Amino acid sequence: MKGGFALEALARTRTAVFDKTGTLTVGGARILRIETAPGWSADETLRVVGSLEQASQHPVAAAIVAAARERGLELKTPSDVREAMGSGLEGNVSGRRVRAGAHEFVFGKPPNPWARRILRQASVRSALAVFVAAEEAPAGAILLADQLRRDAPRAIQGLRAAGVSRIVMLTGDRAETAEAIGAALDLDSVLSDRDPADKVAAVAVEQGLQPTLMVGDGINDAPALAAAQVGVAMGSRGASASSEAADVVVLVDEIDRVADAVRIARRTYGIAFQSMACGMTLSGVAMMAAAFGWLTPIAGALTQEAIDVAVILNALRALGSGRRWRRATLPTSDAKALREEHVKLEASLDRLRDIVAALEVAAPPAGVELMREANAIVSNDLVAHERTDETKVYPRLRRSLASGYGLAAMSRVHRELLHLAHLLSRLSDGLSDSDADAMTLRDGQRIIESIETIARIHNAQEEDIYEHATEE
């Protein structure tokens, strides 16, 4: 916190405004699909847009560049690049004028049937569509998916518990993608399709209603951070400009620290006000007593010293966390091991998500092979993990929690996952190319998507339980 002003301003905050990409979401967008226009291949589309995106600092640009390099594509250095913050960028790549970004930025006209299909797929998957054009002609589109930070729901809950009455998400992304995130976090308002100037205006409007803090991490968030009464920057991986413009910098990659900062500020401000009020009241009483002759000068001096010491000792409470002491429960090492198991499972869940996307257009025999692969992943990785949780982890956790009702509900999710895994096994086992049809592949896709979605939510819930059960 950059000085006492930031601490005092945080304590008065009633509205919190969050950027989306890299703040409420992971920010490291992952490519779901690459749609190509006639005459273009997926690799060539990715190579061209990856070359152009090297000139951008946006997290989506970094994800595209990383994906191109993972495929071993040779990226060229772009020239004469112009970036429109929140919309896209254009420049010269290998002698061609290339433009990439939102549909309105790239084509500037109502979408044709091809573009409408891409936008519809992006809307269904809550994904971001990056359109690519070369020499004003369509080259393709890249669908990228982002996901909520694990600690984002905890951060929102913490802010509401700390007394923040209004929470707003402010983003340059399309309304469909932004509203899906807003619904997942139960936010009060979602402001989408905003460029940096619009963000500043929106923060000014909120600031005019009640004290507002703004949280962001990108270079295009710096003006909005400066416009808010309190700017909070995610400094661990955000742009240096945002950290310079902010009043508070979160030094670790944990968004729930914003709620901790507000809680600390409110508690510190409360203790300071309490110490000041009590000290002045006691001093006033002592002065009145001395005026009526009830206190001698020596007794009055000693009384004033006692009041000062009491006020100082009360103020020193601000050094503590303010949390009630509780018996240590789950050892930190055990919680860390449980989280590491979830990290290992993420790769399997990512592959299931890729299979769901591939089944959208796959036909036998490719679709059958994808279903068999998904069944193997679910059986060998996911089912094995959930059985271990049920038989070994939960009994240990149950001893560390005040009540076992929460774990009973989590066990119900285990049974649902096992049920879906059984359905997938029945559907895929013995399925031949001749038996498979579009309806069968669609049924398999729905089951796999349900398993992947439920497993991610379930893992996030378990992370919260581990956090609660870990010793402090």
- Residue 326 is predicted with a pLDDT of 46
**Top CATH class, 30-145:** alpha beta
Active-site residues, by number, are 19
Distance CA 53, CA 66 (A): 10
Report the relative pairing of strands 137-145 and 30-36 from DSSP bridges.
antiparallel
Phi-psi region of 360 (alpha: psi -120 to 50; beta: other; left: phi over 0): alpha
**Phi, psi (5° rounding) for residue 235?**
-80, -15
pLDDT on residue 15: 94
Residue 272 CA to residue 57 CA, distance in Å, equals: 42
- Residue spans of the domains in the chain: they are 1-26+148-323, 30-145, 332-469
**Token pair recorded at residue 301:** 């001096």
Spell out the SS3 assignment of the chain.
Answer: CCCHHHHHHHHCCCEEEEEHHHHHECCCCEEEEEEECCCCCHHHHHHHHHHHHCCCCCHHHHHHHHHHHHCCCCCCCCEEEEEECCCEEEEEECCEEEEEECHHHHCCCCCCHHHHHHHHHHHHCCCEEEEEEECCEEEEEEEEECCECCCHHHHHHHHHHCCCCEEEEECCCCHHHHHHHHHHHCCCEEECCCCHHHHHHHHHHHHHHCCEEEEECCHHHHHHHHHCCEEEEECCCCCHHHHHHCCEEECCCCCCHHHHHHHHHHHHHHHHHHHHHHHHHHHHHHHHHHHCCCCCHHHHHHHHHHHHHHHHHHHHHHHCCCCCCCCCCECHHHHHHHHHHHHHHHHHHHHHHHHHHHCCCCCCCHHHHHHHHHHHHHHHHHHHHHHHHHHHHHHHHHHHCCCCHHHHHHHHHHHHHHHHHHHHHHHHCCCCCCCCCHHHHHHHHHHHHHHHHHHHHHHHHHHHHHHHHECC
Q: For the domain bounded by 1-26+148-323, which CATH number is listed?
A: 3.40.50.1000
Q: Which two tokens stand for residue 69?
A: 């390099």
pLDDT of residue 234: 85
**Rounded to an integer, what distance in angstroms lies between the CA atom of residue 124 and that of residue 57?**
27
pLDDT of residue 327: 46
CA distance 351 to 355: 6
**pLDDT, position 330:** 66
Predicted pLDDT at 206: 92
Per-residue pLDDT of the chain (472 residues; tens, 9 = 90+): 888 888 889 999 999 999 887 788 876 677 878 888 888 999 999 999 999 999 987 778 888 998 899 889 999 999 999 988 768 899 999 889 999 998 888 988 788 888 888 887 777 666 788 999 998 888 999 988 777 787 888 888 889 988 899 999 998 877 777 887 887 788 999 998 888 888 999 999 999 999 999 998 877 788 888 888 999 988 766 567 778 888 899 988 888 889 989 998 998 888 888 888 988 998 999 899 888 888 888 888 898 889 889 888 888 887 876 655 444 456 777 777 878 888 889 889 989 988 887 887 778 888 889 999 999 999 999 999 888 888 888 887 777 776 556 677 788 888 889 889 998 988 888 777 777 778 888 888 889 999 998 998 888 888 777 777 775 4
**Structure token digits, residue 313:** 């000792």
Whole-number Å distance between alpha carbons of 124 and 116: 12
